[in-house]
Amino acid sequence: MDSLPEDCVSKILSYTSPPDACRFSMVSSTLHSAADSDLLWKSFCPSDYHRILARVLHPHTLDSSSYKNLFFSLCHPLLLDGGNMSFKLEKCSGKKSYILSARKLSIAWSSDPLYWCWRTVPESRFKEVVELRMVSWLEIRGGIWTRVLTANTWYAVYLIMKISHRKYGLDRVACEVSVAVGEKVQSGKVYLCEKDEKKGKKGSVLKMEEEEVMGVAEKREDGWMEIKLGEFFSGENDEQVTMSLMELGYQLKGGLVVEGMEIRPKHHHS
């Protein structure tokens, strides 16, 4: 391979992955030059990176002195759209992921302080999160277009949340979740928190229906909890993805803290 022109080597390496390119750069001087070239790293950057950069809240944090530096800058979470959305690339694949803040979501009655409370918490990546005070009808919806995602990729959608010490009613009825792309809809049921078995034995909570559920919220590395809403394939056409979580059982509930919804690539499709 040392006898090939540098641009040919860069083109060959573009069919590998960013980690592979970094490893190849240590093999020989020819591969090192090709593996560091702008031609190669531009191929790893998203084709719409100019539009992404135009939406970055703090552009001074980006290093665009080379396409390689730009790629790794995009691998760190960046706030977009005035700080209401987070974006990053996966280092291993260069695929895009997004987090829609609570302000980007449609949450029933979230503008009424009797039902929801908007506040700032130091552990959030966004300026505001929203905490549920009391509702009997829980409805949270989000949306994104496949054109801003990586094409032909399986994605999973998660609600990022926490349960405050003031929680009540969240473990009594399962929530309905769905992810829809065009006419393709995936749906299921989840619990926002573990069922309180002790209370159930005392008879102080309603008897739950025996039903198949997709799961309950799990701990994230960033300290928040997440619960899976579903998954979808981005394809090549531009279609709107709609995600939702609903609990319409008219059970009074409170104590849910919502940070946003994450749309991130799946490594294994189930």
**How far is C-alpha 11 from the chain's CA centre?**
31
* Long-range contacts (CB closer than 8 Å, 24 or more residues apart) made by 47-56: 48/148, 49/74, 52/78, 52/80, 52/87, 55/80, 55/81, 55/85, 56/80
Whether residue 175 sits in one domain with residue 53: no
Radius of gyration over every alpha carbon of the chain, rounded to an integer in angstroms: 22
**CA count, 13 A, side-chain hemisphere, 198:** 0
β-pairing, 85-89 vs 96-101, is antiparallel
Q: How far apart are the first and last CA of the chain?
A: 39
- 98 strand-pairing partners: 87, 263
Does 206 reside within a domain? yes
Whether residue 136 sits in one domain with residue 48: no
Around Cβ 251, how many Cβ atoms within 10 Å?
Answer: 18
> Closest Cα to residue 91, out of 129, 41, 48?
41
C-alpha span between 57 and 54 (Å, rounded):
9
Asked if residue 155 lies in contact with residue 266, where contact means CB atoms within 8 angstroms, the answer is: yes
| pTM score, whole prediction | 0.89
Range of the domain at 120: 98-265
Final residue in a domain of this structure, among 20, 51, 81? 81
201: pLDDT confidence band, cut at 50, 70 and 90?
Answer: very low
Whether residue 23 sits in one domain with residue 56: yes
Does 192 reside within a domain? yes
Q: What is the pLDDT of residue 2?
A: 60
Whether residue 120 sits in one domain with residue 49: no
Whether residue 29 sits in one domain with residue 109: no
pLDDT value at 207 more than 70: no
Q: Which secondary structure element, helix H or strand E, spans residue 140, and what is its range?
A: strand 138-145
Whether residue 244 sits in one domain with residue 127: yes
Per DSSP, 142 falls in state E
Does 222 reside within a domain? yes
The mean pLDDT of 236-251, rounded to a whole number, is 91
267: pLDDT confidence band, cut at 50, 70 and 90?
Answer: confident
C-alpha span between 85 and 95 (Å, rounded):
17
Strand locations in the chain (E): 78-80, 85-89, 96-101, 106-107, 116-119, 129-132, 138-145, 154-168, 175-181, 184-191, 215-216, 218-219, 225-233, 240-247, 254-265
Final residue in a domain of this structure, among 23, 48, 81? 81
Q: What is the pLDDT of residue 3?
A: 65
Whether residue 141 sits in one domain with residue 15: no
Average pLDDT, the chain: 89
Q: What is the pLDDT of residue 29?
A: 73
Tens-digit pLDDT profile for residues 22-53: 887 787 776 888 888 999 999 999 999 999 99
Q: What is the pLDDT of residue 53?
A: 96
Final residue in a domain of this structure, among 15, 49, 81? 81
Burial class for 62, CB neighbours closer than 10 Å (0-12, 13-18, 19+): middle
Whether residue 259 sits in one domain with residue 186: yes
C-alpha span between 50 and 237 (Å, rounded):
21
CATH number assigned to the domain comprising residue 129:
2.60.120.260
State the total domains in the chain. Answer: 2
Whether residue 28 sits in one domain with residue 121: no
200: pLDDT confidence band, cut at 50, 70 and 90?
Answer: very low
Tens-digit pLDDT profile for residues 102-149: 999 999 999 999 999 999 999 999 999 999 999 999 999 999 999 999
Does 178 reside within a domain? yes
